[in-house]
Amino acid sequence: MISITYQSGCPNCGGPITGYRSYNGLPCEKCLPLSPNALPEQSRTKAIYDLLVEFGNLKGFWRINDIEESVDTINKFFVQITGHKPWGLQTYWLKRYIQEESFSMSAPTGLGKSTTIMVITAHLALQGKSVYYITPTKSLAEQTCDKLKSMKLDYACNAIDNSSVIVSTYQMLNRNFDKLENRKFDLVAVDDADAIIRSGKTAERVVKLLGIPNELFENAVKLVKLKRLLSFYKVMKPDDVDALQQKIDELVVTIAKNKVDISQLIIASATARPKGIKQEALKYLLGFEASTIQFYMRNIVDAFTKIDLESVISKIGRGGLILVSKDKGKTLLKQLRERVESLGYKADLAVSGKKFMDKFSRGETDMLIGTASYYGVAVRGLDEPYRLRYVVFYGVPKNRIKLIDAVKNPLNSIKIGRVLGFKTDQWENQVLSLSPQEMQIIKIANIRGEKLSGKLGEIQERSNNLAEQILDYVKDLNRRIVGDSFIIYKENGVFLAYPDMMTYIQGSGRSSRLFNGGLTKGLAITIIDDDELYKILRKRLEYLIDAFTPVQFEEVNLPPLLEEMEKTRIDGGKKFDIKTSLLIVESPTKAKTIAKMFGYPVKRMFSPTVMGYETIITDESTMTSRLVTVIATRGHLFDLTLDNIGEFGIEIEGEEIKPHYSPLNRCKSCGRILSTNQEKCPYCNVELIPHSTPIIDAIRKVSLEVDEVLIATDPDVEGEKIAYDVASMVIPYNKNVKRVKYHAVTKDEILTAIRNAGSISIPLVESEVIRRIEDRWIGFYLSSMLKAHFSSQNHGAGRVQTPVLGWITDYTKEYKSHLGWIAVLKVDDLRVEKFFRSKKEAEKYINEISEISISKINEKVEVFSAPSPFTTDQLLMEASVRYRFSPELVMSVLQNLFEIGVITYHRTDSTYVSPTGIGIAKTYLYQKGLGNFYSGRSWGHSGTHEAIRPTKSMDVEELKNEIRSNPYRYSIKFSEIHFKIYDLIFRRFLASQMTDALLSITKYEIDVGNERFVQELPTKMSGGFSALYQLKLYNVSEGKFRPEKVLRRGSTFKLPNYADVIHMMKNKNIGRPSTYSKTLQQLKRHGYVIESKKNKMLVATRRGMNVYTYLTEKFPDMISETRTAYLLKQMDLVAQGQLSPDVVVGELRSDIRRSISSISS
């Protein structure tokens, strides 16, 4: 029986705890010597707390119980104040409040933000604590004061005195700050944070209200400046990066140490993002960045038309908001009011203040008219769920910029240049691979008229030359230029315009609000003034909003729609559920991708090294919205301990196998990641920095706040073990833990995975534990023997590595024993090679050849079957052959592509293609006019995994175009290699869904001197999949030719390349998708194998040969191919639940003991 022990895992004492106990929500046996069955399921936390008190062992567990009790207390207070229980999100915010955390409320109006802040304010005030409540307008301040008055609290309204609660506008705060300068409040509550976000001066004053010392704030400001400077240094001053990074690290530590006794800041809403240095500095002090727009449910019919405004209004009636495109000017607003009033309706302009809103709410006006501007009061300042029923966009909402300013950005220059037909291919990939920081450096330099040097200087020069070409081209422009994401037109200057999708989302959302516990039905109509811009807007919104399917307004059946709109404002609209969740993934890139995929996330900083992203995941099919915090584990949280416990970290007690796992720490000096509880690095005796402990602390903290924990680590055995580790750490804090598995980082896959959330597979976990035990025992045992024998520390071995080293060693020996000289004759793609033992013979032969004769004997045409889509081994082999890329490089790129959501999971040995995948291929082929070649195939049966394929019908050029259109969509830095690998996957996958091709194979007769050679070569390919995926074809001419002559060192026995070795690992069953790359990487790291520079062939070094000889002599059974394949098969059976893990561990131990015994004897 396997019993994992986690060092430092106990939620009470922080000491060792078994996985069994932590997985059942208990402290360690030392703290609580009772089994899980002895405790009640109900009120379990309180029962554990009471027992710990009784045993005198209460330590860290008091916090878990304290939060539960505090939540119960604040919930009762909430009921006392409001008359009803808090619901989902309100409970979540209250939990964060009682933990004295500063935060931003990610929710639209109607979800109880104001009510929650009022309850929190009352809770503090009644304890004699102080609150400063900031509102954006005087009328909102007065409304807040009315509520405080009804609660009989001590407050001051738009005045500064010593009351417990002060309510004021930003203007009042700024005018009277001298009266507050030395006063610290326990809570600063902000109704709308945009004034703070936009004004550094206001941000500075809020800092003082929170009691943040000047020196600490100045350090945070300095940190922001240094971080911005770091991006510049990485490109322009790489030699100075380490010194600057050290300053940043020191400053981070200083801030962390002094960040104590800071009051709470709670923000109800924000729409802008912090841009100023002072505003950005706040996130390093308060641990979060204010929210921008978040998407929950939409209950809106989107429509479009070209009929006039009067016709639209006449059909719908009162309760409309007309948003006028910014490019039409403000004078049009008054004209439109006159036109609306001519129909018998009362209209008002929504341009500033709140009076227009009050009149509209009271029914004194029927219609509102404002500007379609994201920050305008008409777009984001309106919340009237009862009377506001529909929105009319008068013109496509759009932004525009002068073309001369637009081309200062290299990406814009490329986008425009491609549309105009200018050649950009030679350097376009360089631009697409720039990081956002590098792009910004070039843009700012262009604005300032500064010239950069180095790589960025070269790109800047080319970009500016292209910009000059563009500006010269448009001088005589007499037509509109239409791109994929913009248009260019002339109108008192030359402008670049693009649709404003955020204004559309925010503005249309005014028509559908939360009311009476449901979402009211809304209607949004766009009166199109520009067909091309509307097409672009529609395409962008289809990506961002699920089920965005706008309809022609004239085709809408209005009577039942208007009836539904009215009904939902009386009985309550579409009901939906809101949950709070913690979603745990492995990599920070994947965390960012998922968070950005569903909206614009709020950043949460749990520590200097741990970031979380708060986003909204909405599932229309289940009518559920989740407020999700996404945190990355950064790989494993634990590994087998390096401490002196048992046999290399594994204790054996009778039938019980006890692997001990320690959290990971990083050495400040050498950078090694080590699984140890020691304070110093065993290699360089320098202090170790916690690597995984801050992550564990963060996920435990959030687990206490949310309804559920969703563990979404990778869908393989390694991911399952990480999931088990995470669950073991959080179950004492939140028992509602679920396993979520998806094979592609896409909206549909993630939503489906959450819908089908299950439990952790214990057999998979056991399989991974056994693999790690095997790796540790064999690796450490063999390594220790090698180090002793060769008197060197950099020697290591493993069960899989050793047979692979043996193959490469054998090939190397054969290659060297058959070494000689090769004479090569070339004509076109045809090569004739002849081997000679001596260089003299080879030179004589090559000098005597002056001419070769080539003639075609015959040509045959064969049907060539479409290839299957890639598995991991096939892709690694193909990338090696085509591009000579190493497996570790390819796997790194594949990890990137998977994490940003453009390919499916890349560690797979399955060729199966799902119906979704088949549909992607079909869509693409028909779009490109290749539908006649479509032949959908599943390539097998559905199982755990799928083949490696693209997640969208998007080829590499379309991917590049998407990057050009939205360079910040993907959270990686693209390179030429990323594009090549993606293109290879895409073409191979499309080929697998196409008909067979015809291949022409030509037989040639080649006369060289007195010799005759015959070669068969593929020369032509046509039809079927060949339209997208070609084999290597040979171009050979007939006749007599003077050949190109080459003399090179060579052998009759070929050295293996990466493809050869991976093929052998697959065929001999000693490799897995997750181990091909790692195995070769380890052999190179130990210096056993090197890679030839030109042809990327693998060669065993003298060191490698000596190691292999020693191992085969001393441990022939332990490292044999047969035994290795057998053990891997046994581990697979454990993963499938068909074999007990004890059997495999027992065999492993017997192997090692036999080897020790044979050496001793």
Query: For residue 745, how far is the Cα from the chain centroid?
Result: 8
Distance CA 522, CA 515 (A): 12
Which are the contacts of 322, defined by CB distance < 8 A and separation ≥ 6? 309, 336, 340, 367, 368, 369, 370, 391, 392, 394
Does the pLDDT of residue 799 top 70, yes or no? yes
Check residue 2 and report its DSSP letter.
B
8 A C-beta contact, residue 1155 and residue 1117: yes
The structure tokens 């402990």 sit at: 693
Nearest to 593 by CA among 721, 390, 744: 744
Given the residues 132, 742, 905, 1076, select the one marked as catalytic: 905
Pseudo-torsion of CA 1023, 1028, 1032, 1034, nearest 10°? 50
pLDDT bucket at 971, cuts 50 / 70 / 90: confident
- Mean pLDDT to the nearest integer, 581-585: 98
Does the pLDDT of residue 791 top 90, yes or no? no
Q: What pLDDT does residue 1012 have?
A: 93
Q: What pLDDT does residue 272 have?
A: 57
1029-1074 pLDDT per residue, tens: 999 999 999 999 999 999 999 999 999 999 999 999 999 998 888 8
Does the pLDDT of residue 572 top 80, yes or no? no
Does the pLDDT of residue 1106 top 80, yes or no? yes
8 A C-beta contact, residue 1101 and residue 1087: yes
1102: tokens are: 């003298």
pLDDT bucket at 792, cuts 50 / 70 / 90: confident
Distance CA 1027, CA 49 (A): 69
User: How is the beta sheet containing 300-305 ordered, strand by strand?
Assistant: 347-349, 367-371, 320-324, 390-394, 522-527, 300-305, 551-552
Q: How far is CA 105 from CA 102, 270, 649, 698, 734, in A?
A: 10, 9, 45, 19, 22
Which are the contacts of 170, defined by CB distance < 8 A and separation ≥ 6? 134, 136, 195, 199, 202
Distance CA 620, CA 179 (A): 51
Q: How far is CA 963 from CA 441, 490, 958, in A?
A: 18, 27, 9
Does the pLDDT of residue 16 top 80, yes or no? yes
Q: What pLDDT does residue 108 have?
A: 66
Q: What pLDDT does residue 1098 have?
A: 97
Taking each helix axis from N to C end, the angle separating 1076-1085 and 872-883, rounded to the nearest 10 degrees, works out to 50
8 A C-beta contact, residue 836 and residue 845: yes
Q: What pLDDT does residue 279 have?
A: 81
Does the pLDDT of residue 105 top 90, yes or no? no
Share of the chain above pLDDT 70, in %: 97
- Mean pLDDT to the nearest integer, 433-441: 80
- Mean pLDDT to the nearest integer, 231-260: 84
pTM of the entire structure? Answer: 0.90
Question: With b meaning 16 or more CB within 10 Å and e meaning fewer, what string describes 719-732?
Answer: bbbbbbbbbbbbbb
pLDDT bucket at 694, cuts 50 / 70 / 90: very high
Q: pLDDT averaged over the chain?
A: 91
Q: What pLDDT does residue 270 have?
A: 61
Question: With b meaning 16 or more CB within 10 Å and e meaning fewer, what string describes 595-609?
Answer: bbbbbbbbbbbbebe
Q: What pLDDT does residue 721 have?
A: 97
H or E element, residue 610: strand 610-619
Distance CA 925, CA 930 (A): 5
CA end-to-end span of the chain: 32
Q: What pLDDT does residue 296 have?
A: 65
442-463 pLDDT per residue, tens: 888 888 888 888 888 888 898 9
Q: How far is CA 785 from CA 138, 769, 797, 995, in A?
A: 79, 24, 10, 56
Which are the contacts of 812, defined by CB distance < 8 A and separation ≥ 6? 1055, 1099, 1100, 1105
- Mean pLDDT to the nearest integer, 42-50: 90
Does the pLDDT of residue 181 top 80, yes or no? no
pLDDT bucket at 658, cuts 50 / 70 / 90: very high
Does the pLDDT of residue 274 top 70, yes or no? no
Q: What pLDDT does residue 424 have?
A: 77
8 A C-beta contact, residue 973 and residue 902: no
Least confident of 225-229, 343-347, 825-829, 1110-1114: 225-229
Active site annotation includes 912 = no
Across 10-84, the runs of DSSP E, i.e. the strands, are 17-18
- Mean pLDDT to the nearest integer, 915-927: 96
Distance CA 80, CA 123 (A): 11
Please give the domain boundaries of the chain with CATH numbers for all domains. 65-212+262-286 (3.40.50.300), 300-397+500-568 (3.40.50.300), 409-498 (no CATH), 764-818+1056-1160 (1.10.460.10), 819-865+998-1051 (2.60.510.20), 872-995 (1.10.290.10)
